[in-house]
Amino acid sequence: MTAGRGLARVVFWSERNLLVESALAGLLALIAAGLIGAKGVPAALAAAGLCVLLAYRLWRMARRFTPRLVDQPGADRERRQLSLLLLGTVALLVGVSGGRDGRLDPLWYLLLAACGGYERRPGNLAWLLAGALLFDVSLWWAQPGRQGFALALRLAFDVAFLGISFALNRAHLLAREREVAARLGAQRARLEEEAALYRQVGKAPELPSEECREFRRLSSARELGVSAANLLQVAQAALRPHTIALFMLSPDGKTLQLKQALCEEPSLLQQGPLPAGEGMLGAVLKSGHAVSRDRLRDSSMLTYYASRPNIRTFVGVPVLEGEHRRGVLLADRRADIPFGEEDEALLLALSREVWRTFSVERLLERSDEEQQKLRLFYESSRQINRAVNQSEVLDEVLGAVRRIFGSVDFAALVLRDPPDSRQLVIRAVVAPESLSEWRERALQHALEGEDHLCALAIKSGFAVPAVPYHKVARSQRSIFGRHLTPTGLDSLKVFPLKVAATKEGRSVPGEVETLGTLVVGSTARGVFPEIGEESASSFVQETLETLADIAAMAIQSAQRFEQLLRLATTDGLTGLHNHRRFQELLEGAVAEALRYQNPLSLILCDVDHFKKVNDSYGHPTGDEVLRRVARVLSELARQSDRVCRYGGEEFAVIMPHTDAEGARVLAERFREEIREQSFDAGGQRFQVSISLGICTLPGQARHKQELIDRADQALYHAKHTGRDRVVHYADLPKDAGSPE
């Protein structure tokens, strides 16, 4: 136990001490090779220890060798340790196989060449060379009849193999770096040229939005750089400083970044980021007005220099946006000539001009971005209006939200289902990956209660909440109800989908109805403004409100279209597919069955003595009989089957992937269930029965019309051989006639 703890301490210490591990590896290699007098068991134990140490180091490097960890602190040290261990292992193999004159001697030079080409730092190369020379001297010392000339030649070869492979690899890397730098420079020059052209001719509508944003950013940066350089040249000509520089604050106000500078020794300037509260720069930002110093003796206050130049005078003024500090414009001199009030006034005027340039560029960028969003909004609204059915409209609306507003990563549509009810259902959702599980759970889910933001938006008719979502009390953050509110959203707005109210197919002036809500959110804060705030966020909310109105009209049109489509393809009495739709469904089913050689069965059924029902109990009772039969057929049919009203008292059931026996079983269930139904007509109880005819394709029919005709022949035979029975066309006698 004590020996184990001691070994663990040695390994733990060697992790952080290259010299210890290298010495340990070398000692083990020398003992194992018998170069210092050890034989037998000690040499074998030393060899085993060296193998364990090498395996452990290889395992450590395998864990380290990932894109995420390869350049982290400690990786360079581990590479040195592994290379030295490999050298020690090869030295052991060479020593036990006959020394440097043995068969494994080329392996030594191969490893040196590999290590030299692998290493990128001269310091690591020096460690490798020292280890290689030490092992080579040890191998030479253990050989009988050793000669100094042979040792010198081997050491020269060691240096040559390591140095040449390192130099070749270094030259290759430098050539690749130059090639990449040249390619990036050419690409940047091309982008800047295109950005300048973009600036001159305006937005090109044919360019993708992402490319337009990149050109806009490049053109703004280019113009800001040119404007700032011109202003600094004016100040340099007037003040004759050693350095004049412009530093701008980061958005969080914690650091300063050099934006533009004119200096006699540019290499002395620090680019940043620099702490915003330190030195003379911090003094300017804290005071909010001009700060000047004469006869400076301590240059450490000038934190924008990498070293301490001999600067004697300094003046700095803040770059202001109203009362907010946005940066520092400074000048300094090595000569002991103080800056006067006129110099400070000039810098203040230039700082105001700097911020005016920044403001103009920001306004232009915002205007250009809004113009780009308006173009996307126009294209998206056209796509929404082109959509025909409701699912297409919902997809287009959510897609438009994500295309127009990059900051929005969550959107949902909640609709009344059915449209004339008060029940709200989540019909469509787009969400970030973190909410994928919530999306699967919430989609097509009905909202419970009215204590949520969707119900509040419908009731008020306005977007809610009025304040930023992250400021809303937790008890009032329910979006879709207590159990359906997603987590992780910091910005959110719920827009009602309002349309003109209709009555009997006509619009009611001055009245609106709400179809549901459009829910838009983001995991970032500040996407939507507070009430009365004038900013780019106001444009986002106004555009989303307009998009919600367009979406509401498109959804209403899609619902009306689907309603008309249902009326055109649905039987008004039974709610089943009508005869026209039956023909369409059967044609598609026959085409699929013939293409894939699958069975397809068709059942035609007829209510027995239906005319007597109408004559005895009246047409309303007859209608109730038809409705009951339709309901029973629909309930017993499988999900893949299609139940249709064929005409009058006749019904049809299309059964894909169903052979004759399967169709017969289902037809018997239909017949038995209808036989058990009881009807009431003014206190009189009665029952009805049905007759059913079946035909199966491709066994008994070759095409659609033949399938219908032969199912009808089977039905005719069932009607004229006793009724209340099931007959398949395959069971008909050969002399059975067709119905007249």
Query: Which CATH number fits the domain that encloses residue 409?
Result: 3.30.450.40
Q: Lowest-confidence range among 22-31, 278-287, 370-379?
A: 22-31
Greater confidence, 356 or 688? Answer: 688
Q: Which of 153, 154, 71 is closest to 120 using CA atoms?
A: 71
Asked if residue 164 is part of any domain, the answer here is yes
Asked if residue 571 is part of any domain, the answer here is no
Q: 14: number of CA atoms within 13 Å, CB side?
A: 20
**Res 654: pLDDT:** 94
Asked if residue 308 is part of any domain, the answer here is yes
Tokens for 300, please give them: 């450490």
Tokens for 478, please give them: 């329910």
Residue numbers of the domain that contains 92: 13-174
Average pLDDT over residues 243-267: 84
Tokens for 696, please give them: 């199966």
- The yes-or-no verdict on residue 10 having pLDDT over 80 is no
- The yes-or-no verdict on residue 123 having pLDDT over 80 is no
- The yes-or-no verdict on residue 419 having pLDDT over 60 is yes
Same domain flag for 431 and 556: yes
Q: pLDDT class for 586, splitting at 50, 70, 90?
A: very high
**Res 422: pLDDT:** 82
Number of neighbours of residue 263 by Cβ within 10 angstroms: 18
**Res 220: pLDDT:** 58
Same domain flag for 514 and 418: yes
Q: pLDDT class for 636, splitting at 50, 70, 90?
A: very high
Same domain flag for 169 and 302: no
Q: How far apart are CA 137 and CA 30, in angstroms?
A: 11
pLDDT digits (tens, 9 = 90+) for 146-176: 666 666 767 776 777 666 777 777 777 677 7
Asked if residue 346 is part of any domain, the answer here is yes
- The yes-or-no verdict on residue 394 having pLDDT over 50 is yes
Q: How far apart are CA 648 and CA 626, in angstroms?
A: 9
* ∠ CA 214-215-217, rounded to 5°: 65
* 327 touches 319 (CB < 8 A): yes
Catalytic residue set? 649
Same domain flag for 552 and 432: yes
Q: Lowest-confidence range among 360-374, 392-406, 610-624?
A: 360-374
Average pLDDT over residues 189-205: 51
* 411 touches 398 (CB < 8 A): yes
Greater confidence, 55 or 238? Answer: 238
**Res 398: pLDDT:** 86
Number of neighbours of residue 237 by Cβ within 10 angstroms: 8
**Res 656: pLDDT:** 94
- The yes-or-no verdict on residue 38 having pLDDT over 70 is no
In sequence order, the β-bridge partners of residue 644 are 577, 652
Which residue carries 């060379």 as its tokens?
129
Cis amide bond preceding 620, omega within 30: no
Q: Which of 22, 133, 24, 23 is closest to 80 using CA atoms?
A: 22
C-alpha dist (Å) from residue 348 to 320, 334, 603: 9, 22, 92
Cis amide bond preceding 275, omega within 30: no
Cis amide bond preceding 205, omega within 30: no
**Res 205: pLDDT:** 42
Asked if residue 412 is part of any domain, the answer here is yes
Same domain flag for 271 and 360: yes
Same domain flag for 289 and 354: yes
Same domain flag for 550 and 583: no
* 601 touches 663 (CB < 8 A): yes
Average pLDDT over residues 266-273: 80
Tokens for 321, please give them: 């946006």
- The yes-or-no verdict on residue 12 having pLDDT over 50 is no
Q: What is the mean pLDDT of the chain?
A: 76
- The yes-or-no verdict on residue 61 having pLDDT over 70 is no
SS3 (DSSP) at 509: strand
C-alpha dist (Å) from residue 70 to 73, 170, 724: 9, 19, 82
Asked if residue 373 is part of any domain, the answer here is no
Same domain flag for 470 and 597: no
Q: pLDDT class for 206, splitting at 50, 70, 90?
A: very low
Same domain flag for 153 and 222: no
Tokens for 580, please give them: 């026209």
**Res 710: pLDDT:** 93
- The yes-or-no verdict on residue 189 having pLDDT over 80 is no
Q: Mark which of 365, 396, 422 sits at the end of a domain.
A: 365
Greater confidence, 687 or 92? Answer: 687
Q: Mark which of 541, 564, 587 sits at the end of a domain.
A: 564
* 411 touches 402 (CB < 8 A): yes
Q: Which of 440, 374, 428 is closest to 396 using CA atoms?
A: 428
Asked if residue 108 is part of any domain, the answer here is yes
Ranked by mean pLDDT, which of 38-42, 93-97, 203-207, 243-247 comes out on top?
243-247
SS3 (DSSP) at 410: strand
* CATH (domain of 654): 3.30.70.270
**Res 694: pLDDT:** 95
Q: Provide the number of structural domains found in the chain.
A: 4
Asked if residue 491 is part of any domain, the answer here is yes
Same domain flag for 341 and 404: no
Same domain flag for 673 and 594: yes
% the chain with pLDDT above 90: 17
Q: 172: number of CA atoms within 13 Å, CB side?
A: 10
Same domain flag for 38 and 142: yes
Q: Which of 376, 372, 359 is closest to 216 using CA atoms?
A: 372
